[in-house]
Amino acid sequence: MISIVSPVFNSESCLEELVTRIYNSTKKFNKKIEIVLVDDGSEDSRWSKIVKLKKKFNLIKGIKLKKNYGQHVAIYCGIKNTTQDIIIVMDCDLQDDPRHIPEMVQKYLKEKKPVIIHHDYDNFKLKDRITSNIFWYILILISFMKFSPYLGNYLLINKDIKKKYLKFSETTYLYGDLIFQKNKFIYIKKKRLLGIRSNTTYNLLKLLKFAMNLIIRFNIFRKIFRQNKVKKLRIEIEKKI
């Protein structure tokens, strides 16, 4: 019934808590659930942790990529390898609270539309919130798309949206790609948690690269001049369990 996809990178300390919380919040779905953990070329002992967790929780599916492709390519790979009708994507560091999963599923089953968590960032530093808002509103202006600093990876899609999404030959930002394809989401408002990982895996260089990729990918001029020829997305998988 449900596949839960989480990209993981250098976050070995979060994994068991992530899986345990997902398991506890989805007990009524456990006979029809899989957790797809995509190791995006981690430098820590992430893969060995996934292997150990697989022995404890049989519902885990592990995928190890040959190198670090980036968060959204790892998400793409995870979605591609799901087997269930409903797919939920979430970050691994528990800023996305697994307790919201049942509500997301219920909302989808009632409305038959994709669902996304609309986050409240009151727990975060004012400086970080201001910087984030400025960037996303600039992206809205240059793309004419409904981006928001309050919407991220924590979302639910179905197998039909998955099929359409996998036709992309490139991927930069999951939510951006999905609204580019005219998907309309139902919002559920929740407070975003601080997470349990002490340090972010996005350093300044990665943040700048991500920002530039978004601007290049979604700017309005690209749409006007139909500049859509890109190198085909190729993802090398080293191991699967």
Per-residue confidence band for 230, with pLDDT thresholds at 50, 70 and 90: very low
Q: Is residue 211 part of a domain?
A: no
pLDDT of residue 121: 64
- 198 Cα distance to chain centroid: 20
Check residue 119 and give its pLDDT: 82
At 52-110, the pLDDT tens digits run 999 999 999 999 999 999 888 999 999 999 999 999 999 998 989 999 999 999 999 99
pLDDT at 138: 72
Domain housing 99: 2-126+151-199+236-240
The predicted pLDDT at position 184 comes to 94
Does residue 231 register a pLDDT over 60?
Answer: no
* Residue 224 or 234, more confident: 234
Residue 79 lies in a domain: yes
Span 208-212, average pLDDT: 68
**CATH number (domain holding residue 100):** 3.90.550.10
Most confident of 91-100, 145-154, 222-231: 91-100
Its pTM stands at 0.82
Average pLDDT over residues 184-201: 74
Position 141 in a domain: no
* Domains identified in the chain, total number: 1
9 in a structural domain: yes
Residue 180 counted as domain residue: yes
Residue 66 counted as domain residue: yes
Report pLDDT for 128.
63
Whether 142 maps to a domain, the answer reads: no
**37 in any annotated domain:** yes
CA 49 to chain CA mean position, Å = 20
Mean pLDDT of 142-167: 86
Task: Count CB atoms within 10 A of the CB of residue 147.
Answer: 20
**Cα 72 to Cα 51: distance, rounded to the nearest angstrom:** 23
Summarize pLDDT for 45-60 with one digit per residue, the tens. 779 999 999 999 999 9
